Amino acid sequence: MSKVKKPKEFFGQDTRIAPLGVIAAPGAIELSSKVDAHLARWASEAGCEQPNGTFIYESQCPRFQSGDAKGLIKSSIRGLDLYIIVDIGNYSCEYQMFGHTNHMSPDDHYQDLKRLIEAIAGKAYRINVIMPMLYGSRQHRRKFQESLDCALALQELQRMGVQNIITFDAHDPRMQNAVPLMGFDNVMPTYQVIKALYNTVPNFNPDVDHFMVISPDEGAMDRNMYYSSVLGVNLGMYYKRRDYSRIVNGRNPIVAHEYLGENVEGKDVFVADDFISSGESMLEVAYDLKQRKAGRIFTYATYTIFTNGLERFDKAYEEGVIDGVFGSNLTYLHPDLKKREWFHEVDVSKYIACFIAALNHNMPIGDIIDPHEKIQELLKRHSTN
């Protein structure tokens, strides 16, 4: 097994394809700053510190009172290998329009991304987009006469000159088929989640006698199967019975969750999904698992957006149904969520920085990041403690 290389090993070597630059789109400033801190530290350790100590090039997307906007890059980016970080889910961003305050939607963030690419105007050596929550990803397939938002957006970005897109836990990774000639990486922060479980959960013991992984539905099987495989524990799943004769809030309502798997009695359970939106499905699964006498229940979602508020999860935690909810910082986390005792933030900024370092130095991703190897090292380290 080859040793995983450190990103700082590449800084200072003559392997980068072009000088590195990072642009933080509106809404992604906090995440971009954390990513930049890792990159700047690695560069400094390699003796090639940036003159101003940062790889971020200042940009803006100011708006007129009519709601129109423009993209603005405030310094020269000619010849740079540029990485634009955008969070299309950050609804905390606001702008004024005819005297009213509007919250930015995913559509607004996507338009600002295009404005920044327009402002670059072909002067960069290469344009890469890091979009953790993929725009339009929940509208990923056509069932009736309806739009295909994600596919169209990917093709539009390709036409604008974007060469690589990095996303995390795409709702359906097959969306990359829409742009077969463009670089597309769909990344799963599995190592970061398992590390957070070890650092947060008391007496965390992921062995086959004390721990199980449960998929909340058939669509989440792949990610949960990976967790169960690397941890060496058993896997169960729920499938959703839906009423396909009705549409409520844009979807067919769920009639019941049916469980398939072995006995969960007395075992700690981990349930992973890409989104906790309303949280309805996750809570139904958790309550059913408690009725089956499961031990502690820990849930994870890459994007914990809680569109219907936090009260139902507060109640589930108070009742001892859910023992913890883990969520990444790949999209905006409401301050009230961060204050909850039951919520645990999973920092993925270093993972993003590793990707940027590898791509900028034209290195195979596997040479710098090997999640399976890192997970095995983590399990081995904790098994000997």
Percent of the chain predicted with pLDDT > 70: 94
Distance of alpha carbon 328 from alpha carbon 1, whole angstroms: 29
Is the pLDDT assigned to residue 93 strictly greater than 80? yes
Distance of alpha carbon 255 from alpha carbon 252, whole angstroms: 9
- Are 64 and 5 contacting, i.e. CB atoms less than 8 angstroms apart? no
pLDDT tier at 251 (50, 70, 90 boundaries)? low
Tell me, letter by letter, the H, E, C secondary structure of 183-213. EEEEECCHHHHHHHHHHHCCCCCCCCCCEEE
> Which residues on neighbouring strands pair with residue 187, listed in sequence order?
168
Q: Which of 98-107, 215-224, 375-384 shows the lowest mean pLDDT across its residues?
A: 375-384
pTM: 0.92
Q: What is the CA radius of gyration of the chain?
A: 22
Would you state the pLDDT for residue 263? 94
Would you state the pLDDT for residue 367? 60
> Which residues on neighbouring strands pair with residue 349, listed in sequence order?
none
Distance of alpha carbon 290 from alpha carbon 256, whole angstroms: 16
Is the pLDDT assigned to residue 32 strictly greater than 50? yes
pLDDT tier at 1 (50, 70, 90 boundaries)? very low
Would you state the pLDDT for residue 370? 67
pLDDT tier at 101 (50, 70, 90 boundaries)? very high
pLDDT in tens, 198-227: 999 999 999 999 999 999 988 899 999 999
Please give the full DSSP string across 345-359, using - where no structure is assigned.
EE--HHHHHHHHHHH
pLDDT in tens, 33-50: 999 999 999 998 888 878
Distance of alpha carbon 320 from alpha carbon 316, whole angstroms: 6
DSSP annotation of 182 reads S
Tokens of 54: 């940062």
